[in-house]
């Protein structure tokens, strides 16, 4: 079949783009108006700079987490996301039953592991050597330290037991805070519904030389509730955690937190500390307020402790302490 010769350049304009070789024009998307007449800003708030407009798209977040972070942190949500997008520092706590922080740092240095003092925790060291073999060191075998985030150490210190007082760690888990609270002439009781975790606690306590009594809850001068929570403050420890957290579980968590606090109130003779590693106000301030409404015999012992990775360099924590009123 004979080809038709194009005698005039204008003939090219009449051909479809697929035959002419001309680039196909893609229409620019128009703003979508959501309910209430508000423009959907996905293409219009960040597209010109090549950056997605939504926080969820910039940092790979589920929609519910984007909503939570923007509600709880406002303009700081972006900085929080940047902080949890990279691994957190490796932090250890010097075991005061075996050594001081200075002694631990010197001995780790002899093993080729460099550290610097933690900024906030008095017994904390931040490891600066890349990929350190901490669990292969003699210090670890001799019980000189425990790996523990600096924020977790500060929560444990909030319990502030007096000399000779007994302490109950009501949600002890594998025992990081129980071990921090262990001291000569101090009785530390540890309880957790997970028996496997308590087995690990006992092994760690034996290595650390810490006298911890594992068993059912009992009365103590100070009670720590490190409550099960949504764990939004530890997202940098597991990049996929944000996709495994089920927000449908949140109401059950909040009910469980209130139930555990009720148990703790019955056992606390003097001081009660409630802590979570999440940002959600429903698990933090609202649980605390509900407890105070039901228990006027407890009064706040100072402002709540709030830690955030983008501000403090720690995992995210909330903690509040109460003192029982005198008779």
Active-site residue, 277 included: yes
pLDDT the model gives residue 219: 98
Gap between the terminal Cα atoms of the chain = 108
Q: Is residue 14's pLDDT more than 50?
A: no
pLDDT band at 155; cut points 50, 70, 90: very high
Q: What average pLDDT score do residues 56-74 get?
A: 97
pLDDT the model gives residue 49: 60
Cα of 149 vs its chain's centroid, Å? 10
> What percent of the chain shows pLDDT beyond 90?
82
Q: What CATH topology corresponds to 150-324? A: Rossmann fold (3.40.50)
SS3 state at 224: strand
Q: Is residue 47's pLDDT more than 50?
A: no
Are the beta carbons of 257 and 303 closer than 8 angstroms?
no
pLDDT the model gives residue 242: 95
Across 42-56, 76-90, 208-222, 235-249, least confident range = 42-56
Q: pLDDT tens across 89-118, in order?
A: 999 999 999 999 999 999 999 999 999 999
Q: How far is Cα 170 from Cα 44, in angstroms, rounded to an integer?
A: 51
Show the CA angle centred on residue 13, arms to residues 12 and 15, nearest 5°. Answer: 70
Q: How far is Cα 176 from Cα 204, in angstroms, rounded to an integer?
A: 9
Angle at which helices 250-267 and 285-294 cross, to 10°: 40
- pTM of the predicted protein model: 0.84
Q: How far is Cα 62 from Cα 247, in angstroms, rounded to an integer?
A: 10
Across 49-58, 232-241, 255-264, least confident range = 49-58
Q: Is residue 39's pLDDT more than 50?
A: no
Q: pLDDT tens across 207-232, in order?
A: 999 999 999 999 999 999 999 999 99
Q: Is residue 38's pLDDT more than 50?
A: no
Q: Is residue 192's pLDDT more than 70?
A: yes
Q: How far is Cα 71 from Cα 302, in angstroms, rounded to an integer?
A: 25
B/e letters for 258-281, b = 16+ CB within 10 Å, e = fewer, are bebbeebbebbebbbbbbbbbbbe
Q: How far is Cα 69 from Cα 200, in angstroms, rounded to an integer?
A: 34
The two structure tokens encoding residue 7? 């005698």
Q: Is residue 200's pLDDT more than 90?
A: yes
Three state DSSP letters for 289-303: HHHHHHCCCEEECCC
Domain locations in the chain as residue ranges: 150-324
pLDDT the model gives residue 154: 98
> What percent of the chain shows pLDDT beyond 70?
84
Q: Is residue 18's pLDDT more than 70?
A: no
pLDDT the model gives residue 20: 43
The two structure tokens encoding residue 33? 């108006």
What is the chain's mean pLDDT, rounded? 88
> How many C-beta atoms lie closer than 10 Å to residue 41's C-beta?
14
Q: pLDDT tens across 251-290, in order?
A: 999 999 999 999 999 999 999 999 999 999 999 999 999 9
pLDDT band at 239; cut points 50, 70, 90: confident
Q: Which residue has the higher pLDDT, 19 or 229?
A: 229
């Amino acid at each position: 079949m004979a080809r038709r010769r194009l005698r005039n350049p204008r003939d090219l304009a009449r051909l479809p783009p697929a035959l002419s070789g001309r680039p196909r024009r893609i229409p620019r998307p128009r703003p979508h108006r959501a309910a209430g007449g508000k423009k959907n800003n996905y293409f219009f708030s960040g597209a010109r700079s090549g950056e997605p407009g939504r926080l969820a798209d910039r940092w790979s977040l589920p929609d519910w987490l984007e909503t939570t972070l923007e509600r709880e942190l406002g303009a700081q949500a972006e900085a929080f996301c940047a902080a949890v997008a990279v691994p957190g520092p490796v932090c250890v706590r010097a075991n005061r039953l075996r050594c001081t922080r200075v002694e631990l740092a010197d001995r780790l240095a002899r093993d080729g592991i460099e550290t610097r003092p933690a900024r906030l925790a008095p017994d904390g060291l931040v490891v600066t050597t890349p990929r350190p073999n901490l669990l292969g060191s003699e210090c670890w075998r001799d019980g000189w330290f425990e790996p523990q985030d600096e924020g977790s150490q500060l929560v444990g210190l909030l319990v502030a037991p007096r000399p000779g007082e007994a302490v109950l760690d009501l949600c002890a888990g594998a025992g990081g805070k129980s071990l921090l609270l262990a001291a000569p002439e101090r009785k530390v009781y540890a309880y957790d519904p997970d028996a496997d975790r308590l087995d690990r606690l006992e092994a760690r306590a034996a290595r650390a030389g810490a006298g911890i009594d594992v068993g059912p809850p009992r009365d103590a001068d100070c009670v720590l509730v490190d409550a099960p929570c949504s764990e939004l403050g530890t997202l940098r420890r597991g990049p996929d955690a944000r996709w495994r957290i089920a927000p449908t579980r949140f109401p059950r968590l909040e009910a469980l937190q209130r139930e555990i606090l009720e148990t703790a109130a019955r056992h606390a003779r003097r001081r009660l500390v409630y802590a979570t590693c999440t940002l959600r106000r429903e698990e933090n301030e609202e649980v605390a307020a509900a407890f105070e409404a039901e228990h006027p015999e407890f009064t706040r012992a100072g402002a709540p402790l709030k830690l955030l990775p983008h501000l403090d360099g720690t995992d995210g924590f909330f903690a509040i302490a109460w003192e029982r009123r005198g008779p």
